[in-house]
Every structure is written in C-alpha cells, then in structure tokens.
Amino acid sequence: MVGGIVMNNASGMNCGTHANSDKVLHSARMVFADGTILNTGDAESRRNFTLQKPEFIRQIESMRDLVRNDHQLTERIRYKYSIKNVTGLNLLPFITFDDPFDIIAHLLVGSEGTLAFLSEVTMQTEYDYPFKASAMLYFYDIKEACRAVVAMKKLTTENGETVVKGAELLDCKSLASVNDPTGYGLTAVLTETKASTAKELAGNIQIVEEALKNFKTHTPVHFTDEESEYAAYWAIRAGIFPSVGGTRKPGTTCLIEDVAFHIEDLPEATAELQQLLAHHGYDDACIYGHALEGNYHFIINQSFSSEAEVERYEALMNEVKMLVVDKYDGSLKAEHGTGRNMAPFVQYEWGETAFELMRAVKQLFDPKGLLNPGVIFNDDPKCHIRNFKPLTLTNAHVDKCIECGFCEVNCLTCGFTLSSRQRIVIQREISRLKTSPEVADQKRLLTLEKQYQYLGNQTCAGDGLCSLSCPMGINTGDLTHDLRQEQLPANSMGYRMGVFAANHFSEIKNVLRPVLTLADTAHALLGSGVMSTLTKSMHHVIGVPQWTPAMPKAYNPESVKKEIIQKSTQPQPENLKVVYFPSCINQTMGLARKSPEEQPLVNKMVSLLHKAGYEIIFPDKMENLCCGTIWESKGMPDVADSKAAELETALLQASENGKYPVLCDQSPCLYRMRHTIKQLRLYEPAEFIYTFLQDKLEFRPTDKPIALHITCSMKKMGLGDQITALARLCSNNVFIPEEVGCCGFAGDKGFTHPEVNAYALRKLKPQIEKKHIDIGYSNSRTCEIGLTTNSGIAYVSIVYLVDQCTLKKEKI
C-alpha cells in the first residue's frame, strides 16, 4: 500500500504539494532490473553502488548539471511542480537535491514501477493536529464554490499558518451518488481546519466564517468538532469513486482521471471542465476532489462496445488535453501516476526537452525496457484507446464492482490465495471465456476453473466482511455461495445428502457426539503431541477434518435439560422471561479437554440468566432446529431457508408470537436469524446481557488482562462496540488485537482447511504473548476453537466472563 502511494506520488486530503510523497521521502531501498540493490539510506549500500555503477552516478550528476544550466527548463520544472503533477517522470529532484543518491531516490516517486522496484521507504510523518473541525458547505453554483475555495486558500492566522487544511469539492453528481439529500442540485465543499489547541481551533473557525460571509451558501456555515459528525462527512468523500462506479450501466467501465489547475484559474477551469463533460454526453460524470490544491478527479462511465463509443471517448480526452494544457497550463495527471491513459500526452504537456530528459532517465534505469512497458513511455499515440479490459457481467451480486480494492483490507485470504477483488476479476474472465469461440480461450477457461476451485472457492470464508469496506456493500461471499450452489444441482449426491441431513438433523448430531467422544478418548490416551501428528497425517492423506487440542468434548443438552428446568426460578412476569435457543453447535459441542472452564456454555448461560432472575423457555424439539447457516455456506440456500422457517415457527410458538425476547448463544447463527426471521426480537449473548441484564447484576471488574475477539457477524450487525463495552464492565484491562479480522474458521473450514484459519490469525499469537494474556473471550464456539488453536491461550464465550465478574444485585 505505501509502496503504491510513493510510486504514484499520491498525497492525502490535506497534503497538497507541501507534503506529498515526494516531499516527505527520506530514503528508499530499490531493486533495479538487473538485480542490483541500492538503499539510499545506508552508507555502505551507497559506497557499494558507487563502486559497481560509477557510470550510473556520473550520468545522474550530468543530468542534474544539464538541467541547472538550462534556465528555461529549470523555471519550467518549478512552475509545473508548483501544483500537483505526476505527468511523466519526476524531474523536480534535479533542481531540489545535489546528492545523486537523493536524486535517484526521488526519481522513483511517481514512476509507477518503470524505473525500479521499491522495496522499502523511509518517510517523514506529518504533525497530527489534536483539534479538528469540518463543515459541509453547500453552494448553488460550482463557480461560486470554487471562488470560496480560492478565498479560503489565502486565509492565514496571525502566526502566518494556513487556516484551512483541506477543501474537497463534491459536485451535484457526486452528492447524488451517495444519496446526500441536502446536496440535490448543489455543489458542496467539505472544509477542514485544524489546530494545536481548542482556542486556536475556535479562532480558525471564526476566520473561515468571516471570509465566507461574502459567499451565498444553501445552508448556514456550521463547523463541527465532534468526530462522530465530521467522520460521516469524510466517509461521504471517501465513497464517491466506488459509489459513482456502482451506479453505472452494467457492462460499462468506470474511469477516473485527475487534473490540476493553478488556484487562480480554478473557478473558470472547473466550470469549463463540467461543461466539457456534458458536451460529450457524459450525463452521469462527476467532478470531485482536492479543490484547495486545484486538483480534481473526474469520473466517467464509458462503454467501449462500439467504434462510436471509442471515438466519443477519444474526442473527450483530446478536449481535456487542450483545456488543461493549452488553455490553463495545468497538469493532465495530478497524482496517482501517468498510466497508459495519459502516456500519449506526456510530451505534449512537457515539451520535447523535458520529455527527452525523462527518456534518458528511463534508459539509464531500465536500458532493456523490461519494467512496466507501455506506461509513461509509449510510442503508440492511440494506446489509450486500445486493448480495453472488459467488465464482463458474471453475477448480479458483484456486477457493480469497479475493482477499486477497498474490500481487500477486510479479506482474510488477501495475500494467501485470492482476495475478494481477485475473485470477482477471475470470475469475470471465466464468464468472458465461456462465450469465446477461440480454442486457446477454452483451454484457458479449463485452467482457470480448475485453479479457482481451491484458490477462489474452497478458501473463501464467505464471512462478508469485505462488504463493510465496500461503499456499495458488495459481499463477495454471496458470489461464493452462488458458485457453490451451481456445483450442487438438485439431482447431485451432495445436495441429496444436504437434504437428508436437514430432515434428520437430531440423528446427525447423535452420530457426531460419539465421534467427538472417541476423539477425546484418543486425546486422553495418546496425548496432544501424538494425536496432533497422527491426525495431521490423516488430514493430508485422506482428507479427514483436522483435529486440534481445542476440539471440544461431546455435549447433549437433553441429558441435562430436565435438571435445568427443575432448577429454574419460579414463574416470572413477562419482562423476566426469555426464549433461549442454544445453537446446534452448542447443543453438540461442550468444552475442550484442557478448557479453564468446567460447565458447557448452555449450562453457564442458564446459570447466568437465573442469576439475573429470568425464567427460561426452551423451544420444542430444539434438537431438530437450526438457523440454516450450515446449508447456506455449502450452496444450498433453499434448504437453509426451510430450516430457518422451521426455526421461526418454533420460536414464535415459544415466545407466544413475539411476547418474549429470543436469545441465541452463537453470533453467526443470530446474524442469519435476523436476516430470515423478522417477527421476533432476536439477541446474541453480549447484546442481551448488555441490554437486559446489566441493571440486574452487580459487576465487579477484574484487573486481569483479557483478549477479546469480535466476530464477523458482530461487526456486520454493528455490535462490536457493545461487546467491547460489556467486556470493559468485567475487566479493566481489555485487549483487542490489531489486524485480526475474520478468524477464518468459517463454521467448519478450520477443520477442512485449517491453513485458512492459521493464515487469518497469523498476527494473533505474538500480540497475546507480548501482553502476557492467558484467556480470551468471544461469542462463537467454532471461532473460539480456531482462536484457541492459533493463539496459545483458551478462548471461551464472553458469557463465562460475565458470570465470573457479577453477582446478583440485591433489591433495595
């Protein structure tokens, strides 16, 4: 991520030209096309490079001196980089630095991998102001909005410090794409100011408000320093690109370009750019971006299905070139690299002298032209309208995807097998190949389908966390479920087995319990080491599920149900009754042999509810009931829905048509129940305890450090803060490990593909050990098995923590 930012000379919302990647880079470690490694921040590496490549250093120094002796070229470079500019290679180092190694390092910035591979970089971080405020300013006219930006650009404090740190323009189409009701037909400028003290911040806001009195806004100017409020503004800004892409006509390509103008030209240039897009028929195009720096992104949704459409696009780009370069002498590419789309126009923008210098740099670094060919330097003047990548329709759940990659931060297999974005890309290619008559394409199709089975299908957890960071809410897990469904037609053996299991669910669990007992007995006799070695061999050779020491013992609530009911409290009023549905997992699985707890979860849940004075109602025939998640994950949605309907009927009866809340002790099960059962009030343990039991229990928090894992389902239900708050009622030392998202157990994947579980939790154990934690809590039994296996400590339900840290509150 950081490497991509540097190699595209990207900057942030507040960086502009003063703190873009080029300005804050200290040193770089790079690998040249011939394998030579140079670390410009290491003295020995610099000496070795000088000995190995003295001619390289000499040529860099020669180019530096050539530029400095050409006054016209020097002034041209200064002017071009007074605004954001990444068109071509970075020429600014030749007039900024004397040391050839500093020049070499900074030449890489914005080079898009055309010069060398950047493997390490040292950057100077910017000061993070502790006090911030933002305002969403709405204007009736885009020119007026830009005039306001120009005015705010000039504002300074008495100390000469810039008042406005960021001003992001969002035109009416941008606002419409994110359903901003206030901005209909208007232009907005998201404005931010920052300060070191609250008093300074208030002063900054006053300065901006005074300046804006000269401009007509749709709503009064209002700055907020509440993070929850201004974070919502910035979330709108962050989601513009994928949101606009998501509204495009299926099959079209979402294209984004970014230009920059000098600030004094901003109002007229922006209006003309808007008119230009409309003139060429791009009615759904939008303009947005870093107005304070004169830098805009514009997005168009383009079809390349006909020659006429290609010609329309070419005409647009030619007019953009004339507007930006000929009329305003701006930048055709302000950030994010030149790319193939602007490669034909590099010489046009810079002129022959500067362009030939760029070519000389490319020749010096990469004499054989091996690195990223065709980017920045391309001899084909039409390269920007050739070899278009199709966005083939493949699945309704993902067809809106523009492949922006926002999802990948939440994809647990990103970097292991395939990411959520890569799954979509490959499925689009598979769909394209299916319609191709070419023999070579059909061979490639067979290869992709075969390889995708493990890399794309079997290792996808289907957890849906990718949807949380996708502004369009695209869930690649839905695609995976659909593909699994295609592989299980109604007449297949797998489907028939699924139906049989659904119809004989209690019998299936009765078969599973002896298997768990057998495994536990073998564990007791052989020990963890021998058992692990033996079962790993069996898993790899014959594919049996992988056993771990965290494997639970068998459990049957029916054997203790009568005892539980007998110990129940006396009949309670309606507000102290709850329907408790133990998930099928917790009806079958108890605790692991070496668990620090003694009672299975169902028993512990009942004990806690009784402590709070609740009367418990179990649904009839609960041994046959299931939410359907098992079948949904395997690609049998119809079977899953029939099980959910069966469960709904039983819960309606038990709750007297919704009179009492329903508690399920497994968060993934509860997540599906909430999506399929709409007539009941449904809760998982943390939410139920926090909502209903908090005032009935006396919490006595411990100082013992504990780890907390927030499951995927909790995150998707928006309950992460609630389970965290509950844990902090119980412990003064709650630790949530960083960069640990989905655990990857995915119901049974931790047994069938334990490598996914291990990869997902690869960063967990070192953090646990560093914090000297010996117990962890969550609210999903299967997730807890995987967490225990890969953390080195036991993970159990948060119900155990609450029970341990509470007493029954005595009535006063």
Instruction: Give the model confidence (pLDDT) of 11-60 as tens digits.
Output: 777 777 888 999 999 999 999 999 999 999 999 999 999 999 999 999 99
Answer yes or no: is 378 within a domain.
Answer: no
Using 50, 70 and 90 to split pLDDT, how confident is the model at 705?
Answer: very high
Q: The CATH number of the domain where 217 resides is what? A: 3.40.462.10
Tell me: do 112 and 27 sit in the same domain. yes
Burial of 710 (0-12, 13-18, 19+ CB in 10 A): buried
Using 50, 70 and 90 to split pLDDT, how confident is the model at 254?
Answer: confident
pLDDT of residue 58: 98
Tell me: do 593 and 710 sit in the same domain. no
CB 24 within 8 A of CB 63: no
Tell me: do 91 and 195 sit in the same domain. no
Strand partners, 295: 260
Q: How far is CA 542 from the centre of its chain?
A: 36
The region of weakest confidence among 68-77, 394-403, 420-429 is 394-403
CB 20 within 8 A of CB 84: yes
Using 50, 70 and 90 to split pLDDT, how confident is the model at 439?
Answer: very high
The region of weakest confidence among 34-43, 82-91, 240-249 is 240-249
Give Cβ neighbours of residue 182 (< 8 Å, ≥ 6 apart).
Answer: 136, 138, 175, 218, 219
Using the predicted structure, report yes or no on whether residue 568 has a pLDDT greater than 70. Answer: no
Tell me: do 115 and 236 sit in the same domain. no
pLDDT of residue 179: 84
pLDDT in tens, 306-326: 899 999 999 999 999 999 999
Mean pLDDT, to the nearest integer, of 200-228?
Answer: 95
pLDDT in tens, 635-661: 999 999 999 999 999 999 999 999 999
pLDDT of residue 433: 96
Answer yes or no: is 349 within a domain.
Answer: no
Tell me: do 112 and 36 sit in the same domain. yes
Mean pLDDT, to the nearest integer, of 333-354?
Answer: 94
Answer yes or no: is 343 within a domain.
Answer: no
Using the predicted structure, report yes or no on whether residue 9 has a pLDDT greater than 70. Answer: yes
Using the predicted structure, report yes or no on whether residue 422 has a pLDDT greater than 60. Answer: yes
Largest CA distance in the chain: 96
Integer angstrom CA distances of residue 453 from 423, 497, 539, 546, 661: 11, 21, 19, 20, 42
Tell me: do 137 and 213 sit in the same domain. yes
Structural domains counted in the chain: 5
CB 485 within 8 A of CB 636: yes
3-state secondary structure 142-203: HHHHHHHHHHHHCCECCCCCECEEEEEEECHHHHHHCCCCCCCCCEEEEEEEEECCHHHHHH
pLDDT of residue 563: 67
Tell me: do 628 and 555 sit in the same domain. yes
Q: Write out the residue range of the structural domain in which residue 263 sits.
A: 127-306+328-336
Tell me: do 660 and 739 sit in the same domain. no
- Give the number of other Cβ atoms within 10 Å of residue 428's Cβ: 21
Integer angstrom CA distances of residue 497 from 115, 493, 508, 631, 807: 57, 6, 11, 11, 47
Answer yes or no: is 365 within a domain.
Answer: no
Mean pLDDT, to the nearest integer, of 613-633?
Answer: 94
Tell me: do 286 and 211 sit in the same domain. yes
CB 649 within 8 A of CB 613: no
Tell me: do 621 and 697 sit in the same domain. no
Tell me: do 515 and 618 sit in the same domain. yes
Tell me: do 150 and 294 sit in the same domain. yes
Q: Which of 624, 657, 680 is the last residue of a domain?
A: 680
Q: Which of 655, 680, 705 is the last residue of a domain?
A: 680
pLDDT of residue 235: 86
pLDDT of residue 537: 86
Using 50, 70 and 90 to split pLDDT, how confident is the model at 246?
Answer: confident
Using 50, 70 and 90 to split pLDDT, how confident is the model at 566?
Answer: low
pLDDT of residue 247: 79
Answer yes or no: is 383 within a domain.
Answer: no
pLDDT in tens, 718-743: 999 999 999 999 999 999 999 999 99
Mean pLDDT, to the nearest integer, of 604-633?
Answer: 94
Using the predicted structure, report yes or no on whether residue 565 has a pLDDT greater than 80. Answer: no
Answer yes or no: is 712 within a domain.
Answer: yes
* First vs last C-alpha separation in the chain: 58
Q: Which of 123, 155, 186 is the last residue of a domain?
A: 123
Using 50, 70 and 90 to split pLDDT, how confident is the model at 761?
Answer: very high
CB 206 within 8 A of CB 325: no
Mean pLDDT, to the nearest integer, of 62-72?
Answer: 97
How far apart (Å, rounded) are the C-alpha atoms in residues 560 and 565? 9
Mean pLDDT, to the nearest integer, of 114-142?
Answer: 95
Answer yes or no: is 98 within a domain.
Answer: yes
390 versus 148: the higher-pLDDT residue is 148
Answer yes or no: is 400 within a domain.
Answer: no
